[in-house]
Amino acid sequence: MNSNIVKPGQILSIKEKNSPSPVAAKSKTQPTSSYIVKRGDTLPLIAKKTGVSALQIARLNHVTTKSLRAGQKLIIPREEPPAKAPVEEEEDLLEEEDEGLTDDASGQIACEEKVSEELLGKWGSADERKLFIRVATGFLGAPYRLGGATVKGIDCSAFVRKMYEFFDITLPRTAREQSTVGMQVGRDELVEGDLVFFRTKKPIGHVGIYIGNNEFVHASYKAKAVRIDSLDRPYFQKRFQRAVRLKGLDENGGT
């Protein structure tokens, strides 16, 4: 403006004062320690004592072996420990589905140790078993709900029970109870349709259906949905308890 007179309604353009430039993010400083040079020390000798290369020490302190003096204080860089990878909350991946049941500990353990060792039925064919896996994996993404038994929300044992109901097998309600029926098999003997059981806070607290390739489908507490996981995953390797087979194939059909 060419005048110092301000009129009502006039729009003024006000130039902001130069604000201080944002402070640049401080570069992460490397932690250091110090070393007092002793008579007879050389850079290679100091490097051996401190575990830091002679080149690093020379560059950081602008010294050479010849310029070292007894009593001189050198700055020695220290390696920061690598950041720890986030650890999954161990009890967060699997639900405690039996919580609230009134079984005493001895009854629970006795029940878990008792396995019928008898198949509950036979697959009509290998194709029927494949159909079972297609049906089970067709529920991927279905919402998880502890204690739930419908498509609006289902937990691990209810999911397994529902899948087998479609194929004329009636199972108990909980993972613990389901682990006591059928024929126990080794992990290296697993075939599609076998049930795999895992430890939670209780010896048997989670169950899924083996689908081949070391994978199983289950209603996941962590994902809050039906999903596929790998038995090779360290978390599940550590907690794998047992596997049972509910239906077999006749001799001409295989396992």
Task: Supply the residues annotated as catalytic.
Answer: 156, 206, 218
Tell me how crowded residue 62 is: count the other CB atoms within 10 A of its CB: 7
The single-letter DSSP state of residue 143 is B
Residues forming a β-bridge with 185: 243
| Cα-only R_g, the chain | 33
The three-state secondary structure class of 224 is coil
Beta strand segments in the chain, E: 32-36, 73-77, 121-122, 149-150, 153-154, 183-185, 195-198, 206-212, 215-220, 225-230, 240-245, 247-248
